[in-house]
Amino acid sequence: MQAQRSTAPSGQGSDPSLGRLGLLAPVFLAGVLLARASYPSPHPDFSHVPFVVAVFVLPFWYVSGVGRAVWARWYVALLALQSVVTFAPFALFGAGWPGGVTGPLGGLLLLTLRTPRNWVLFVVAAAADLAVRFAVGLPEVNPDVAPTWVLIAYADSGIALYGLVRLSEMAAALHATRSDLVDAAVAHQRLAGAQRLRAAVVDRLDEVLRCAALALSGVDTAPGRARRELERAGRIVRDAAAEIRRNLPAGPPDPSGDPVAQRTGVLAPRIARFVLLATLVMFGVLNVLNVAYPDAGVPVPSPPVVLAAVVVSAAIVLLQWRHSAAGTRPRGWRWTFALQAVLTYAFYPFVGSGSMTLVAFLAGSALLLLAPRLRWAGFAAAVLSMPTLVAVAPLGPLPLLAWVLWTGYVAGVAAAWGLVVYGLSRLTGVVAELVEARAELAELATVREQLRIARDTHDLLGLGLSAIALKTDIAAALLATDPGRARHEIGELLAVAAATREDAGAVPTRPPRPALATELRTAAEILRWGGIEVRGSLEAPPLPAEVDAALATVLREAVTNVLRHSRPTRVELDVTVAGAGVGLTVRSDGACPQSDGPGQGLANLRDRLAAIDGSLQRRHTDGRFVLEAAVPLPVAAGSLA
């Protein structure tokens, strides 16, 4: 037999609502402790109370979340100790040992052992409890219902404890692993992005490298073949450029990568429904038995009254199920809540407080349905109604000790199981909300990563692909007139293609951070390859890292657009630093009309600059193209070298 290793952290995370819901289990235990310590058997004193408290020490330790590693390693010894403190007091108190005090043992069995062994031992503990009570004497309730009462008191406590703790652990696990899910979604998207980039760019560049190598080998011996290979390389690289301009559309996030959400999303409602339904049914049965078999001194009701008790108890159970299972306030809740209150107290005038077992459900409904400013007042009113009605019982006042014990018992029962009803309903909703929130976070992270990959692919690979296409044209044109120069151009084509291929492989996994100084030199070199005169500043001043990378990307996209949409003879590149910020200007002549159309590249650049409070302006007049980027330096002034 192995301990059930809980994956939930000991705390409830940073969400305060989770922290409050995590208190439900210990508060429930406190209510059960009050009920069992106040068990209404004839006790001459309170000597049994320390023994009852001892029964709850280990359960309180477990639900606190502290020392779960100790529980995982020593669960056999700890369960044995819980069994001793649960059953040993029978030797001292006999039939006076409180009923239902074995419930915490049952809860710990369910929580610490693996299924199905935990349920087998849960049943074994119930049988042991009943067997010992037959040996020492049954509790002082009606003998006809005492065995059933013992089993219900045990099962209700154990199953309720199990449900509250397991659901709160699920909620905490979901909350704590949100970042893990986001990381997994981003990793999945990066893998998908790498696959799309390989198909769109990397594989094409591999083919370009093969064509260029064949062309290089045939410059002197087979110039016709070399030309065909260069033309083929040009077509391939232009197809790749067209593909990345379509932004490499990505698919939706993969939901199969979230096993925590899958497990909790399935188990949480199942556990809650099972525990809640078991609690409702058992309490409903107990309420019928209390009416049909009242305490000594109370007249036995007639069969019609018992039948009415069955109908009323079933109606209350159904009303409570409606209030708890809806997830929100159901339609007409005010009427159903009022009807539940009337039915709860309907048999008090006939059989006394023993008929008010289901007041616990009324307390739970008050927490679920009433406005925040009223819910706890309604809960307290329902809980306190039981000791109040005991005090004015129609059978006459009770002795002081008996009244104190009975008051604590009924108040503890009402409070504990009212919290169970509320907690199971709320925890199930919280788990569902967390599953949905995790999915939304993962989807948002996926979409952001899709956009990042598409933007970086467009902005950072466009210039390299344009340079490769330009090199294929230049080399093909030189084959017939200057084979030596053609050989040199093909060699540079190979170098640029290899570098661009490396950049394409890096985009999905590690976002490139280009340097402005490098981009200025590269831009000037590529423009000169095309016979374009380059003027202006080619030295970059020291800038904050984010500003430098953003302007480098702007420059790369601007030069790509110049080569793609213009037939320039001269391009001016200027970087200026003033007190308020830094500016980058790119001017070219020979601009073609199609450059006026909107493009994804400029939209990407505006987004990049907006992230650092920068701006981008584009002008196209009289055959001249001007692009101006401006970024205020105070945003990152502390990062200046």
Question: Which residues are CB-neighbours of 466 under 8 A, at least 6 positions away?
Answer: 241, 526, 559, 560, 563, 564
pLDDT at position 167 over 80: no
User: Which of 161-170, 423-432, 447-456 bottoms out in mean pLDDT, i.e. has the lowest?
Assistant: 447-456
615 by DSSP, 3-state: which?
Answer: strand
Count CB-CB contacts under 10 A for residue 267: 14
CB 588 within 8 A of CB 562: yes
Could you give the CA distance from residue 406 to residue 47 in angstroms, rounded to a whole number? 16
pLDDT for 118: 93
- Give tens-digit pLDDT for 184-196: 666 666 666 666 6
Q: Which residue has the tokens 């929130």?
A: 437
Q: Which residues pair with 588 in a beta bridge?
A: 571, 625
Q: What is the DSSP letter of 113?
A: B
CB 559 within 8 A of CB 527: yes
599 by DSSP, 3-state: which?
Answer: coil
Q: Which CATH superfamily is domain 515-641 in?
A: Histidine kinase-like ATPase, C-terminal domain (3.30.565.10)
- The sign of the dihedral angle between the CA atoms of 404, 410, 411, 412 is positive
Closest CA to 37 of 417, 409, 419: 409
Mean pLDDT of 320-329: 82
Helix axes 483-506, 178-197, angle to 10 degrees: 160
Highest mean pLDDT among 99-113, 283-297, 623-637: 99-113
Rg (CA), the chain: 38
Token reading at 85? 């403190």
Could you give the CA distance from residue 90 to residue 100 in angstroms, rounded to a whole number? 13
Residue 101's φ and ψ, nearest 5 degrees, are: -70, -15
More confident residue, 285 or 579: 285
Token reading at 233? 């390389």
Average pLDDT of the residues of the chain: 78
pLDDT for 410: 77
Q: Which residue has the tokens 């390693």?
A: 73
Cis peptide before 116 (omega within 30 of 0): yes
Mean pLDDT of 482-494: 80
% of the chain exceeding 90 in pLDDT: 17
Q: Which residues pair with 536 in a beta bridge?
A: 573
CB 286 within 8 A of CB 147: no
Could you give the CA distance from residue 479 to residue 605 in angstroms, rounded to a whole number? 38
pLDDT at position 173 over 50: yes
Mean pLDDT of 44-73: 89
pLDDT at position 263 over 60: no
Closest CA to 475 of 467, 464, 486: 486
Could you give the CA distance from residue 12 to residue 231 in angstroms, rounded to a whole number? 64
Could you give the CA distance from residue 519 to residue 522 in angstroms, rounded to a whole number? 5
- Give tens-digit pLDDT for 495-518: 777 777 777 766 666 666 678 888
Could you give the CA distance from residue 35 to residue 409 in angstroms, rounded to a whole number? 4
Could you give the CA distance from residue 486 to residue 483 in angstroms, rounded to a whole number? 5
pLDDT for 123: 95
- The band of 1, judged by pLDDT with boundaries at 50, 70 and 90, is very low
pLDDT at position 262 over 60: no
- The band of 267, judged by pLDDT with boundaries at 50, 70 and 90, is low
CB 541 within 8 A of CB 582: yes
pLDDT at position 543 over 70: yes
pLDDT for 117: 93
Burial class (CB in 10 A: 0-12, 13-18, 19+), 345: middle
pLDDT for 636: 43
pLDDT at position 265 over 70: no
Burial class (CB in 10 A: 0-12, 13-18, 19+), 230: buried
pLDDT at position 121 over 80: yes
- The band of 85, judged by pLDDT with boundaries at 50, 70 and 90, is very high
pLDDT at position 258 over 60: no
Mean pLDDT of 214-230: 85
Q: Which residues pair with 582 in a beta bridge?
A: 577, 631
% of the chain exceeding 70 in pLDDT: 73
Residue 373 CA to its chain's centroid (Å) = 29
User: Which of 7-16, 142-151, 260-269 bottoms out in mean pLDDT, i.e. has the lowest?
Assistant: 7-16
Domain extents in the chain: 1-11+45-170, 515-641
- Give tens-digit pLDDT for 346-385: 888 777 777 778 898 999 999 999 998 899 999 999 988 8
pLDDT for 290: 80
Query: β-pairing, 533-536 with 581-589?
Result: unpaired
Three-state SS sequence of 435-462 = HHHHHHHHHHHHHHHHHHHHHHHHHHHH
Could you give the CA distance from residue 332 to residue 432 in angstroms, rounded to a whole number? 24
Could you give the CA distance from residue 51 to residue 64 in angstroms, rounded to a whole number? 21
Three-state SS sequence of 291-334 = HHCCCCCCCCCCHHHHHHHHHHHHHHHHHHHHHHHCCCCCCCHH
Question: Which residues are CB-neighbours of 33 under 8 A, at least 6 positions away?
Answer: 52, 53, 56, 412
Concatenated DSSP letters for 404-436? Answer: HHHHHHHHHHHHHHHHHHHHHHHHHHHHHHHHH
Token reading at 468? 């490769």
Question: Which residues are CB-neighbours of 186 under 8 A, at least 6 positions away?
Answer: 445, 446, 449
- The band of 261, judged by pLDDT with boundaries at 50, 70 and 90, is low
Query: β-pairing, 624-632 with 533-536?
Result: unpaired
Could you give the CA distance from residue 550 to residue 562 in angstroms, rounded to a whole number? 18
Question: Which residues are CB-neighbours of 477 under 8 A, at least 6 positions away?
Answer: none
pLDDT for 83: 96
pLDDT for 21: 67
pLDDT for 241: 77
User: Which of 16-20, 340-344, 606-610, 636-640 bottoms out in mean pLDDT, i.e. has the lowest?
Assistant: 636-640
156 by DSSP, 3-state: which?
Answer: helix
- Give tens-digit pLDDT for 375-426: 999 999 998 887 787 766 654 555 566 666 667 777 888 888 888 888 877 7
pLDDT at position 461 over 80: no
Token reading at 332? 């007409």
- The band of 129, judged by pLDDT with boundaries at 50, 70 and 90, is very high
Mean pLDDT of 303-329: 87
Count CB-CB contacts under 10 A for residue 124: 12
Token reading at 147? 């065995």
